[in-house]
Amino acid sequence: MKLAILDDYQRLALRVADWDRLRKRGVEITVFEQAFASADDAAAKLAPFDILCLMRERTPFPRALIERLPQLKFMALTGQRASSLDLAACSARRIPVSNTGAGNTNAPTAELSWLLILAAARDFAKAERGMRAGRWHEGLAGGKILEGRRLGLIGLGKLGARVARYGAAFGMEVVAWSQNLTPERAAEAGARLVTKEALLESSDIVSIHLVLSERTRGLVGAAELERIKPGAILVNTSRGPIVDELAMLAALKSGRLGHAALDVYDREPLPADHPLRSLDNVTLSPHLGYVSEDVFEVFYRGALEDIEAWLDGAPIRVMNPEASA
């Protein structure tokens, strides 16, 4: 029996779960720590495996890929859902998929959002690069203070509400907008509901906290970036395609958008020659949102339990019970 662990390029899977329990049962384990170059590459490398342990939606598994994995018998998915996994295709192949606990993914993502807000406001990444290169102050050192400025949150769910509280603690005025947000719900989170247009035009920092869907794809496009307050900071820790990447690049180059602090991208990993990497007014992180040892312990220990239960003939937390019917 062969197991492939897709380790999300973080190299934490083997550290946080006792995979020797499977080795003692004769399971051969291979860890993939790098992104697949293409669907063909994924199909070729994963074809020999009976079991896959997936890191949420980081590697898409559409029907076309699933049908090219002849040995596949079971999948363990870290987290509770993945929009890029075709469950119907798994069921058609009689491949059960078990998930795990979610862990506390809200806290690390919200904390990273605030880290990016602080780094962008103080232009910290540029200062850090200069220090490593042997330089000292360059231009206006220290950037902008947050106290007294306006924080605009696009999305005020569990993540957005946490960031709203951080903003209040820093003495910021917090406004928010989403398609279904009510004044009462905004007030509960310590924010004031405004229109999307007003949020863009008046906020010093715009931070996105929405799930990617057909309604939110391209939500912040050229028209929205034309409206944004000149010199504003845009923060995205949700999903890259919520923002029109080409329009964002144009706004950054023109100076209309003062700074972008990003953890998510249209294509991940971000290509080495991507133009975002060469702009000074950009702070980048490699999709670290929920990545923490605490969360990965929940993910991979749960995945190990899922695999053991399936090997015992009594799978748990099955997302598609029809696959075993």
Q: Which residues are catalytic?
A: 239, 268, 287
Classify 115 as helix, strand or coil. Answer: helix
What is the phi-psi region of residue 18: left when phi exceeds 0, alpha when psi lies from -120 to 50, beta otherwise? beta
Residue 6 near residue 23 (C-beta atoms within 8 A): no
Residues 6 or more apart in contact with residue 261 via CB below 8 angstroms: 116, 117, 119, 120, 233, 234, 235, 236, 282, 283
In what helix (H) or strand (E) does residue 304 lie, and over which residues does it extend? helix 293-311
Classify 168 as helix, strand or coil. Answer: helix
The sign one gets for the Cα dihedral 153, 157, 161, 163 is: negative
Interatomic CA distance for residues 69 and 46, integer angstroms: 7
Per-residue burial over 47-66, b = 16 or more CB atoms within 10 Å of its CB, e = otherwise: eebebbbbbbbbbebeeebb
